[in-house]
Amino acid sequence: MIRKTLALLTATVLISFFSFSQDYRQRYKDCSAKGDTIGMAQALKEWESASPKDPEMFIGFFNYYVRMASHENISLVPNKKGESGFQLTDSTGKVAGYLNSSVNYDSRILQQGFDYINKGISFHPTRLDMRFGKVYMLGKAENYAAYTKTIIETIDFGNSINNAWLWKEGKPLDNPKKFFITTIQDYQANLYNTEDDNLLPYMREIAEEMLKYYPDHVESLANVALSYLVVGEYDKGLPYLLKAETFAPKDIVVLNNIAQVYKRKNDKVNAKTYLQKIIKYGSKEEVEIAKEQLKEL
């Protein structure tokens, strides 16, 4: 009877404790929806005191500090940037410029958010949403060294747990390995799409880390190659493309990149060989482009 009583008491405490956590979380959400940052901060402090290791509490603090660190800047620019630029005209109807909106972050405040999410990760290392949230904000803040370091740490840890990741509210992902690999590829693409050649070594570093555990990952092989090809180091990039071809012999992107490398190396024989492969495996549009390039050769 004593054991049963103790078990029931323990269960009651746990249920009540969880209920309190839910209450703080709802208060935080309600304040956030109303834009009440003072109320958000108060709810978070009480939440932390009542449940100091609650993963959702760490995420709440992180989101709070991201919000407090964000500042929107409006500037007049001569050329339209993206789709958000609002066109301004003068009295004659001539375009005078565009209003461009951008978000900047107070690094001191943002760091407080990173401190909380780092603490949350230390207590809950398998929560991939925490890690990816951190990576996302490092990218937004353009801290690409830390962005790369965090991604590499995540790749290494993912391998150590066989990608048994958890997501929001501690729920397992349906296909964690596929989701993980796809998202890491997106992060590499983000670096490439900045069009800043100085960031290519970061992309290469991430891709090479992926290849340690997934040597047949065609996208990472292609990413390492691109990091060299963009800056004209064709002989360093080509072996990665040729290896990618062994895993994906009909991949048009890989075949086209190989053809372009050979063209730039003035190796017309091999360039023609790979353009002919595109003609063999490509879509109608891809075939037409390849035929035009063959004519040029």
The answer to whether 59 touches 128, Cβ cutoff 8 Å, is no
- Name the band, by pLDDT with cuts 50, 70 and 90, for residue 24: confident
Its pTM stands at 0.84
Mean pLDDT of the chain: 89
Q: How far is CA 35 from CA 29, 45, 155, 250, in A?
A: 10, 17, 36, 52
Q: How do residues 33-64 score in pLDDT, each as one tens digit?
A: 999 999 999 999 999 999 999 999 999 999 99
- Measured CA distances, 289 to 276, 284, 292, 294 (Å): 11, 9, 5, 9
End-to-end CA distance of the chain: 89
Residue 4 scores a pLDDT above 60: no
Residue percentage of the chain with pLDDT more than 70: 84
Could you report the per-residue pLDDT of 178-217, keeping only the tens digit for each? 999 999 999 999 999 999 999 999 999 999 999 999 999 9
| pLDDT higher than threshold 60 for residue 83 | no
